[in-house]
Structure 1
Amino acid sequence: MAELWTAYLFICVAVSSATATDKVCSYYDVYRYLNLSQSNELLTSVRPVKDWRTPTTVHLAANIYAILGVVEKTQVFTSFFQVQMHWKNEFLFWDKDQFCGIKSITVPYDLLWKPDIRVLEFIDEDVSLKEAFLSIRSNGMVVINKTLRIVSTCTIFAKQFPFDEQNCNLTFLSYQYLTGDIQLESEFNSSEIFFFSKNYIESEGEWELKGITVFQSSLNLEKEPLATLVYQVSLKRKYMLYVLNLLVPAAFLLMLDLASYFIPEPSGEKLGFKITVILGFSVLQLLLSGILPSNGRIPPLIAIIFASIFTFMLLSLLQTIFVKYLWNLKPDSCLLRGFCRKQKPSTDQFKDSGNQEDSVKTVSINLGQAGPDSSVLREMLLEIQTAQQMVIGLQREKETVLSLESAARALDTGYFYLYLMSVVSFFTYIAVSIM
């Protein structure tokens, strides 16, 4: 009898263990156990804590996935983030051993309460993909994974453009809940977030991600502050494109303007060449004006460089016009009396002319004594004297023209060296200020 009873117990244990091993569970069993439905206001409408004085801690991890652009003109930073948030729901938990080891389930997004986490700097319509589901873990942890296209304000300091670095802040916070209700914490530290973002970033455009700093802060809008979590994104501009498209052409045009001083002045091509160079530089200025912000208090460095180069070219053009005026100046139509006043004859010229007049008078007296036949000779002497005066006048005009040309050449040479030294000094100062 005892043996039969032992055998019966062995069979019962074997059947029960086989039944437990072959137990089949589904996610719907957990779904029904948790009583998940839109009509369950305990789960959909109120913050999931049993004691209202207990704050809900939201753990947030945001990795930058792409840098879509930074617009200096409007000071807007556009980025693409992958964000994960999770928090504890004190009304949702189950024993995974009772449900065949199910650790988590995925349910529709609208079945549970969620914190209204927003980005303070967001300024555009939210066109991010809407979440359809969220996950619930057996310990009551609710997890949301979302992708955000964030268009935010960012104060752009373009003083060092295009060698600048910018810091853009993204402040995550809840508008409806105070610090006593919701607290924000970062899931990872700054170095870990930067490591993940740097390794998995898909697009940077003209910017290079230099760092991400995460820190907690608070925003005082009410009697109690709002908890915030700030992501400070550090960006460095890839300047090579701007150097090749703006700075290098500007430097070449400046070199051409300097080289124009080697064009011979009588050819008449120097003035037109300088005007052409200035027009080409104006095109570069138009391209630059469409990039730089218009509301900056401190002008960008590249704007100072372009304005200085344009000033150099303009002064050079004015100097060329003045030299051209001196070169083509006529002694009888002069406006600058200091340059074209007729030269006074020298003492030797006075002596020569006096001697010639005395000789003419002597000859005239001798001819007068010679008789009436000397009238022909007297007229010949007068014509010779008139021709001599004309030659002296032409010689004086030639000397005046030569003096004007010498002054123009001296002015041209002096200004060239002054121009060259000014350009070298200016760019040396710019290079030192950048470094």
Structure 2
Amino acid sequence: MKYKGCVVKLILLISFFEGSNSVSYTDFDAFFKNITSGKNINLRPVLDHKSKVDVHMFFHLTYIQEFDEVEGKLSLSGYFNISWIDQTLTWNSTENGIEQFTLEEHIIWKPSFIIGNSYDGVTEKNQDHSVMRVQSNGVVTWTPGDNYNIVCNADVSRYPFDTQSCSLLILPWGYTFGEINVIPTYDYVVQWWFTEQHTWELIETSVVKGENLPMLEFSMKLKRYPMFYVLNLILPICLMIVINIFVFLLPPESGERVGYAVTVLLAIAVFLTISSENLPATSSPRISSISILLFADVCISAFTVLIVILSLRYYHRKDEYPVTKFMRGFVNISRKVRCEVCCFRKKNEKYYSEKENEEQIKWTDVGKEFDIVCGIFITVVVFIVHALYIIDVAV
């Protein structure tokens, strides 16, 4: 009980000091009208008109909405934090207890900026009606925010394992080096409340001040998450071209060889169409690796169709037409090479002799050897083409 009176006195003392530091609405309104009256928003807030206004700026990126590679457009969400010293807006905060206040009206000077590489055309940023905060030392902070569509030409040469570099350019509109000095607050793009995007990963940012213009370049390096495209585009393409090789294992009597080969060719052509819709119609700096791979697969598949047709012609040629000397030599060389690789020498010497081959070789034998040689050749070509693609996108 003896401390009760002390506690009450302490509470009253705190209340007295808080009351003494409070500012009434009437006092604040009078202060506001007094300090903002007579301001010319067209004049830079410097006491010496020949001096520069140092404008400090940083960009806070909150979300990457979309990157359209076909149109070359990057959509961002974020805001700029722009601050400068207004030499005509300073006061002694100890006299009235007011340390800072906010403005929502365009009644004091603020710099005019534009997005230098805006996709939607030139848009002036001084028309933004977001809150400005003014401190007693004259520091004015302005935080305009918006959705920004900027031009970013995509380099899809390694699609879908590509990395894109995009920049947001902001520069004063109508001011020269002698009037405004734009200074980056940080040498990177701020990401305090950044939300990750499911298609692109932000791996690196930087801020560069322009040399010939009073502008800032906010650069962002984006890396695509490739797994979706690997599962839905690249692996089906590889599967199509691999099963295309098995056309030579179909019996020629089935009558399905040509239909099978044409079906695979059309399937690869469909994937070529799908990939071309997602890529820009440009060859700079070079054509996409996936487009080259698909074109090569289409050529291989078309070549396979021609080989199958030619092979069936050999299979169904009547025996009354003698096998030419060239085809006999082709069959003999093919058999000998295969037996040197796969068979024992004894079997090779016992089974093959030139005279026996000349008597036994028929058009069906020519078709079989033709299938084997062409199947091995196409398999090697497919392996080389896809190995070159992997090396290109990896290295």
Interval of TM-score (by shorter of Structure 1 and Structure 2):
0.7 to 0.9
Candidates 280, 301, 316, aligned match of 2:304: 316
Does structure 1 residue 425 correspond to structure 2 residue 379?
Answer: no
Question: 3-state DSSP class of the match of 1:131?
Answer: coil
Deviation at 1:208, TM superposition (A): 0.5
Deviation at 1:160, TM superposition (A): 0.9
Distance 1:322 1:338 in 2: 18
Partner residue in 1 for 2:76: 79
Deviation at 1:406, TM superposition (A): 0.9
Q: How does 1:18-417 map to 2 (within 5 A)?
A: 21=20, 24-26=23-25, 27-36=28-37, 40=38, 42-100=39-97, 102-124=98-120, 130-190=128-188, 193=189, 196-197=190-191, 200-219=193-212, 226-297=213-284, 298-330=286-318, 403-417=362-376
Q: Deviations over 1:351-371 (max 9, x none)?
A: xxxxxxxxxxxxxxxxxxxxx
Question: 3-state DSSP class of the match of 1:115?
Answer: coil
Distance 2:321 2:99 in 1: 103
Distance 2:18 2:165 in 1: 62
- TM-aligned CA distance change 1:283 to 1:327, over 3 Å: same
Question: 3-state DSSP class of the match of 1:78?
Answer: strand
Q: Deviations over 1:311-337 (max 9, x none)?
A: 111111110011112222236789x97
Give yes or no for contact 2:114–2:124 (8 Å, CA) kept in 1. Answer: no
Give yes or no for contact 2:99–2:136 (8 Å, CA) kept in 1. Answer: yes
Q: Deviations over 1:5-27 (max 9, x none)?
A: xxxxxxxxxxxx99993774443
Structure 1-normalised TM-score? 0.73
Deviation at 1:150, TM superposition (A): 1.1
Distance 1:200 1:227 in 2: 28
Give yes or no for contact 1:67–1:205 (8 Å, CA) kept in 2. Answer: no
Distance 2:86 2:92 in 1: 15
Partner residue in 2 for 1:389: none
Deviation at 1:148, TM superposition (A): 2.2
Read off the aligned partner of 1:412 and give its amino acid letter.
D
Give yes or no for contact 2:318–2:363 (8 Å, CA) kept in 1. Answer: no
- TM-aligned CA distance change 1:312 to 1:127, over 3 Å: farther
Give yes or no for contact 1:89–1:141 (8 Å, CA) kept in 2. Answer: yes
Question: 3-state DSSP class of the match of 1:109?
Answer: coil
Distance 2:79 2:94 in 1: 33
- TM-aligned CA distance change 1:327 to 1:302, over 3 Å: same
Distance 1:62 1:119 in 2: 12
- TM-aligned CA distance change 1:20 to 1:287, over 3 Å: closer
Distance 1:22 1:274 in 2: 88
Deviation at 1:288, TM superposition (A): 0.6
Read off the aligned partner of 1:410 and give its amino acid letter.
E
Q: Structure 2: give runs of 5+ residues left out of the alignment.
A: 1-15, 329-357
Structure 2-normalised TM-score? 0.80
Give yes or no for contact 1:340–1:400 (8 Å, CA) kept in 2. Answer: no
Deviation at 1:30, TM superposition (A): 2.7
Deviation at 1:108, TM superposition (A): 2.4
Q: Deviations over 1:218-264 (max 9, x none)?
A: 34xxxxxx311111111001111111111011011111101222111
Give yes or no for contact 2:170–2:217 (8 Å, CA) kept in 1. Answer: yes
Read off the aligned partner of 2:20 and give its amino acid letter.
T
Question: 3-state DSSP class of the match of 1:218?
Answer: coil
Give yes or no for contact 1:171–1:231 (8 Å, CA) kept in 2. Answer: yes
Aligned length: 345
Give yes or no for contact 1:64–1:201 (8 Å, CA) kept in 2. Answer: yes
Give yes or no for contact 1:75–1:153 (8 Å, CA) kept in 2. Answer: yes
Distance 1:18 1:286 in 2: 76
Q: Deviations over 1:341-398 (max 9, x none)?
A: 9xxxxxxxxxxxxxxxxxxxxxxxxxxxxxxxxxxxxxxxxxxxxxxxxxxxxxxxxx
Of structures 1 and 2, the larger Rg is shown by 1
RMSD value over aligned CA atoms? 2.8
